[in-house]
Structure 1
Amino acid sequence: MLKLDQVSVRYGSTIGVERVSLHVREGELVTLIGANGAGKSTTLRAINGLEPLASGTIRFDGHLVSGATPAAIIELGISHCPEGRRVFPQLTVRENLEMGAYRRTDRQRARDDMERLLDKFPRLRERIKQTAGTLSGGEQQMLAIARALMSRPRLVMFDEPSLGLAPNFVEMIFDLILEIRREGVTVLMVEQNAYAALEMCDRAYLLENGRIVKDGTASEMLADPAIRRAYLGG
């Protein structure tokens, strides 16, 4: 479904990612692990058109998307739940969800999708008229996920979905991501909690200094002694 071929992103003379090649099959949950600054978030931002490529290509379902605008990429079926949630704090929960569907023309189906998501996220229904800035961190993360799903994506990218959340919310968010995957949405995820990410995913890529240095199935990565020492606490 998604294929990156020798993708490089640079910030002046600084390397963001260098010759990254990876793929995600339809229906998979794939995770990117690595230390802070390894290039994981940059990779997601390159996929959704927020970072221009220095070289390489990105294809989604056979379509060349490198160089496309973020709006065009959303319309193709890729959605992004960014690091730090990035909800619109002065807008209500309902208005944030409506923003997730701003490119859709099927307004009735969009309203039906909102109702379905509010059934999935009952806390958001309870707070539908509240401004997003007044929600707790976990509630904002739920809102960010629901907003990303409002575009009816075929592939959704999560960037650090558990960052800064209380343990009870972390478990809830991971359960929601697994449920999204079971419903047929393909998932590409960046997650600081490498152990939890590898427990959830089908395959993983390890990035170090902007480069992919290892990839494999979740079980292969969990069993790798070097990965266990560096990222899984031994």
Structure 2
Amino acid sequence: MLRLEEVEVAYGRVAALRGISLEVREGELVSLIGANGAGKSTTLKTVSGLLKPAAGRVTWDGQPIAGLSPREILRRGIAHCPEGRRVFPHLSVRENLMMGALLRRDAAGIAQDLDAMYARFPRLQERAGQAAGTLSGGEQQMLAIARALMSRPRLVMFDEPSLGLAPALVQQVFEIVQEVRRQGLMVLMVEQNALAALGLCDRAYLLETGRVVRAGSGPALMASADVREAYLGGRAFAA
């Protein structure tokens, strides 16, 4: 469904992606792992239209999308849940959720999905009229996820969903990611917790300095000695 082929992206003269190729297939959860600065977040921003590639192809459902606006890419079914939550702090929780449905015109469906988000995240319903900026970090992450789902996407991209959260909340966020995938959506996830990312995914790509240096199933990458040494503290894990 989603395919990147030899994509190059630069910030000025600094190369961020150096010919990256990857794909997300129907029904898959794919993780991107790697050190800070490897190009993981840049990859997601390129897919969502926030960055334009200098070379290469990005296709979605067989159609080129590189160069399209973020609005048009969202309209085509790709939602981006960004690093740092990026909620609208002065808008209420409900208004933030409605922003996720901004491009939709089906009022009845929007109302139905809003009720579904409140059922899935009861804390958001409790704080529906509260300014989003006053929520805790965990609550803001729930809001960011729910806002992305309000667009009724086919692919959800999560950028560091566990960043800065307490351990109990981290587990809850990963359970939500799994639930999203079980509902039939495709997921592309950037996550610094490499062990959790590899344990959740169907396939993973290891990025270093803007290049894919290894790809395979989660268990295969966990079993790789160099991946264990660099990203899993040298420990071996059972598949």
Decide: shared fold, TM above 0.5: yes
The code of the aligned residue for 1:19 comes to G
SS of 1:142 mapped into structure 2? helix
**Pairing of 1:74-223 with structure 2 (within 5 A):** 74-223=74-223
The code of the aligned residue for 1:202 comes to D
Distance 2:108 2:96 in 1: 17
The code of the aligned residue for 2:47 comes to I
TM-score using structure 1 length:
0.99
**Segments of 4+ in structure 1 off by > 3 A?**
none
Instruction: Show CA shifts across 1:157-196 (max 9, x none).
Output: 0000000000111000000010010011100000010000
SS of 2:86 mapped into structure 1? coil
Distance 1:35 1:9 in 2: 18
Corresponding pairs, count: 234
The code of the aligned residue for 2:34 comes to G
SS of 2:32 mapped into structure 1? strand
Matched residue, 2:53: 53
Matched residue, 1:66: 66
Matched residue, 2:19: 19
Matched residue, 2:9: 9
The code of the aligned residue for 1:93 comes to V
TM-score using structure 2 length:
0.97
Distance 2:134 2:12 in 1: 38
Unmatched 5+ residue regions in structure 2?
235-239
The code of the aligned residue for 1:140 comes to Q
Identity %: 60
Distance 2:161 2:26 in 1: 21
Please state how far the C-alpha of 1:62 moved relative to its aligned partner. 1.0
Distance 2:29 2:99 in 1: 26
State whether structure 2 residue 29 is matched by structure 1 residue 29.
yes
Please state how far the C-alpha of 1:107 moved relative to its aligned partner. 1.6
Please state how far the C-alpha of 1:50 moved relative to its aligned partner. 0.3
Matched residue, 2:231: 231
Please state how far the C-alpha of 1:12 moved relative to its aligned partner. 1.5
Please state how far the C-alpha of 1:52 moved relative to its aligned partner. 1.0
Please state how far the C-alpha of 1:63 moved relative to its aligned partner. 1.3
Distance 2:167 2:217 in 1: 26
The code of the aligned residue for 2:21 comes to S
SS of 2:206 mapped into structure 1? strand
SS of 1:91 mapped into structure 2? coil
Please state how far the C-alpha of 1:229 moved relative to its aligned partner. 0.4
Please state how far the C-alpha of 1:13 moved relative to its aligned partner. 1.3
Distance 2:59 2:13 in 1: 26
